[in-house]
Structures are given as structure tokens and as C-alpha cells.
Amino acid sequence: MEKVEVKDAGGKLGVMIVGVGGAVASTFIAGTLAVRIGKGLAAGSITQLATIRLGKRNANRFPKIKDVVPLADLGDIVFGGWDIFEENVYEAALHAEVLKKEDLDIVRDGLESIVPIPGVFDREFVRRLNGTHVKPQGTRREYTERLRADIRRFRKENKCDRVVVMWAASTEVYISQSEEHASLSAFERALDNDLAAVISPSMCYAYAAISEGAPFIMGAPNLCVEIPALVELAKMERVPVCGKDYKTGQTLIKTVIAPMLKTRMLGLDGWFSTNILGNRDGEVLDDPGSFRTKEVSKLSVIDTILQPQIYPELYGNIYHKVRINYYPPRKDNKEGWDNIDITGWLGYPMQLKIDFLCRDSILAAPLCLDLVLFSDLALRCGFSGMQTWLSFYFKSPIHDEDSVPEHDLFIQHTILKNTLRRIIGEPTLDYLD
């Protein structure tokens, strides 16, 4: 198989994060700094710990991915980014209360050196927050130009060869795709005419990143980088984009349990999911507009996996309910309860009960690391537009309008590894042998 031509991974890789002081970003940064000096385990990271089978099973070739795939070295990463609050990343991480102070103090100097750039903020899109470290009021076009200047300045000051931009900020209120999103020319007219209702802050960041040749990762369920206008721009600039909404807790469980039900041809009558969460994300999602954006992302998983139109007798009348409840005492320690009513032989009812006491940012941090390294890899491979091979990491994977997204975790995992095999010139595995 022909090997993909991959540009060298050497040089500094800038990682600019939107929401750099948030719980997810600060946990990701602190953990990466600790791992690269041998003071932490990168549990949850495929790029750092997973192996990949090469060749037939009897060849017994199972090297670590990082030993055979040309990924950027952790020591070459430089962190920065934007936030609507002015705390440096050390102060922000203390405030988030995800990692213990003694763990943060190991990399304190590195965290304190990361001071956020003022962010783009529009309270119409995030109603439960009041940003205090924000860019001066401007038009949508002015915002994108300021963000582009930020990226250029960061690249120059840190002598970065490449930059990846990642959204780890709050969930914006729900908006539908409109005619302004249908093409790049329509989108740029909307920018110039300051149509703020249809161009969200996250779209400004995505447009700026892509225009500066930086891959963009959408970690929230916002309508953003999957709109035709930004996909067109990404292809034109030969920039990879991926998203959306990091797959961490309850939806991760769904992408495992739902394929199990379908594989065994067990029926499903109802699936009730509820969460309690107390961090800033929970506060934002307490607003119905932001919750609606998250709800759409979460609800799409089961129907896509179970295909009720093909199996109406098993999945044609599912009642699926999702709830997220803001509960400050829990902070970042999310708890997700699932009640699953299933049917078996002759229609006899059974139930599954799942109580997942997870740590939201602890689960998200390794995903952020993998997505940064794989997005940079995609850029150096010359890939552009939607990177559907990274669907493994997202609740609501972006996809072409004429295709169905893949939600089954294990199929996504196979697609991910087969893409890596193709990149390094190894045969893909389409069946077990």
C-alpha cells in the first residue's frame, strides 16, 4: 500500500485553546506538562499508550502508535489561547478544583506563564456567564481579524512552525443552519454586514484559525465548523477540521451499550438519562438555549446506531429523554444515571441501570491531547476539510450532509486505526485474520 507523504513533525507546535482557563483546558495543559517530564500517566490517551496491530495476527506486530506514526513530540508543544476571564492557567486550575494543588505545583511555572488573550464574547450566545476579559466591542468581521492577528502574534512570539486551535469553551445557545452558512461567499457577506445572530463567536474563531492555516477542533456541540461555508474554506486553505462535542461520560456509555443491544437484536423501549454537574459547563447548560444545543448532540446517538427505520419491531418506538442538572456541590465530578428498558425473547422486559460517577475534565483531557496530535498529523499529511476518521472522539461527529455519521465506538476505533495504517503505508484491516 502506498504510504501517505507526511511532512516532518519537527519544530514547535502551538496549541491555542479557546477557553484556556476552563476546567477542561487547564486539566489538559497541566497533565500534558506533567506527562512530558515523567510526572504523570497519560491514561485515556491513544496517542501515548495504545498499540496498533500491523499485518496479520500471526505476525505478532503490536507496536505503540507513537512509535510508528510520526506524531509531534510532547516536548515541542507550546500552549496559549483565549479566555473571557483573566486568571492565568495555574490560578484557573486551582479555581476549577479538578486537580490537586500538589499536582498542579509540579508544573506551576509552566501554568503561570500561560496568560489568556482577551476572548470574543457575546452574551446572547452564552447567557449564564459574564465575561470580564474580553475584546473591545466590534463587528463580526473585526473580531475575526483580531483573532487572526492573535494567531499570527502567538506563532511569531513562540517561534511555532504550526498551530492548532481548539475550542474548549462553553456550549453556545442553539441556532439552526441558515442561508448565510450555505457557502463561503454568503458567510463572508454576513461577516461584512455584521449579522451577529447567525455568526456565533465560535464561528469567528473557526474562520480565523482556518484562514491562518491552523486546524480547528470543535469540542462543544455548537453549530460551527461543519457548516458548508467553513468546510469550503477549510478545503480551499487545505486545513483539516473536526468535531463536535467531546465524547466523555454518558454518551461514551451509549456508544458501547447501544451497539451491544443491536448486535444481539435485543429490543429497546426507553432510555432515560440524567446528569448532575457543578462546574462552569453545568452552569452554562442550566440555560435552556445552551441545553438545547447539548440535547440535540446527545439525542442523535441512539437513533443513528439502532436504525429504527430498518428494525421497527425492535427500535421503532423508543422513548429517549436526556436531562442535565446544575448542582454546584459536585463541581467537575459529574454523575450520570441511565435507566434502560430493553426487551428480549417473546417481548419479555428487562432493565439495565448504569450509574457513572466520572470526572468530566479527567475524561476530556486525553481526548484533547489526541485530537491536537492527530489534527497536526492530518495537516502534515495534506488532509483537508472534515476529518471523519476522528469521529471516535466526538458525541456528534461532523459528516457530509449526504452521509450518515458513525456512532458505534468500536467501528469508529477501527476507522481511526485504519487511517493511521494508511498514513504509514501498512495494509488496512477490514476483517479479522
What single-letter DSSP state applies at residue 246? B
Bridge partners, 323 (sequence order): 274
In the 3-class helix/strand/coil scheme, how is 337-368 assigned residue by residue?
EEEEEEECHHHCEEEEEEEEEEEHHHHHHHHH
CB atoms under 10 Å from CB of 80, counted, come to: 25
C-alpha cell at 329: 456541590
Confidence of residue 134 (pLDDT cuts 50, 70, 90): very high
CB atoms under 10 Å from CB of 325, counted, come to: 14
- Average pLDDT (332-338) is 90
* CA atoms of 430 and 433, how far apart (whole Å): 9
* C-alpha distance across the termini of the chain, in Å: 18
Domain 250-358: what homologous superfamily? Dihydrodipicolinate Reductase; domain 2 (3.30.360.10)
Comparing C-alpha atoms, which of 234, 220, 238 is closest to residue 280?
Answer: 220
- Average pLDDT (275-300) is 76
Q: How far is CA 395 from each of CA 220, 296, 319, 371, 392, rounded to the nearest angstrom?
A: 9, 10, 19, 14, 8
DSSP alpha helix (H) spans, 212-249 = 228-237
Read off the pLDDT of residues 27-61 as tens digits, 9 standing for 90 and up. 999 999 999 999 999 999 999 999 999 998 888 99
Please, are residues 270 and 341 in contact by the beta-carbon 8 Å criterion? yes
Residue pointed to by grid coordinates 450518515: 404
Does the pLDDT of residue 315 top 80, yes or no? yes
Comparing C-alpha atoms, which of 121, 124, 154, 116 is closest to residue 135?
Answer: 121
Q: Which helix (H) or strand (E) holds 420?
A: helix 409-423
Q: How far is CA 135 from each of CA 114, 121, 158, 205, rounded to the nearest angstrom?
A: 18, 7, 22, 13
List, edge to edge, every strand of the sheet that includes 267-277: 319-326, 267-277, 333-343, 349-359
pLDDT at 297: 66
Confidence of residue 1 (pLDDT cuts 50, 70, 90): low
Confidence of residue 288 (pLDDT cuts 50, 70, 90): confident
Please, are residues 164 and 376 in contact by the beta-carbon 8 Å criterion? yes
Residue pointed to by grid coordinates 491552523: 214
CB atoms under 10 Å from CB of 356, counted, come to: 15
Please, are residues 130 and 123 in contact by the beta-carbon 8 Å criterion? yes
C-alpha cell at 397: 461527529
| Strands in 8-65 per DSSP E | 12-18
CB atoms under 10 Å from CB of 112, counted, come to: 13
Please, are residues 289 and 127 in contact by the beta-carbon 8 Å criterion? yes
SS3 5: coil
Q: How far is CA 346 from the centre of its chain?
A: 41
Do domains 12-246+362-423 and 250-358 share one topology? The answer is no
Does the pLDDT of residue 368 top 60, yes or no? yes
Q: Which helix (H) or strand (E) holds 325?
A: strand 319-326
pLDDT at 350: 98
Does the pLDDT of residue 114 top 80, yes or no? yes
Comparing C-alpha atoms, which of 269, 290, 257, 270 is closest to residue 356?
Answer: 257
DSSP alpha helix (H) spans, 129-227 = 140-157, 184-192, 201-211
CB atoms under 10 Å from CB of 5, counted, come to: 9
Confidence of residue 82 (pLDDT cuts 50, 70, 90): very high
* CA atoms of 102 and 111, how far apart (whole Å): 13
pLDDT at 431: 60
pLDDT at 2: 64
> Comparing 139-153, 268-282, 367-381, 382-396, which segment has the lowest mean pLDDT?
268-282
C-alpha cell at 165: 486551535
Phi then psi for residue 310, to 5 deg, are: -95, -30
CATH 2.102.10.10 assigned to domain 12-246+362-423? The reply is no
**Domain residue spans of the chain:** 12-246+362-423, 250-358
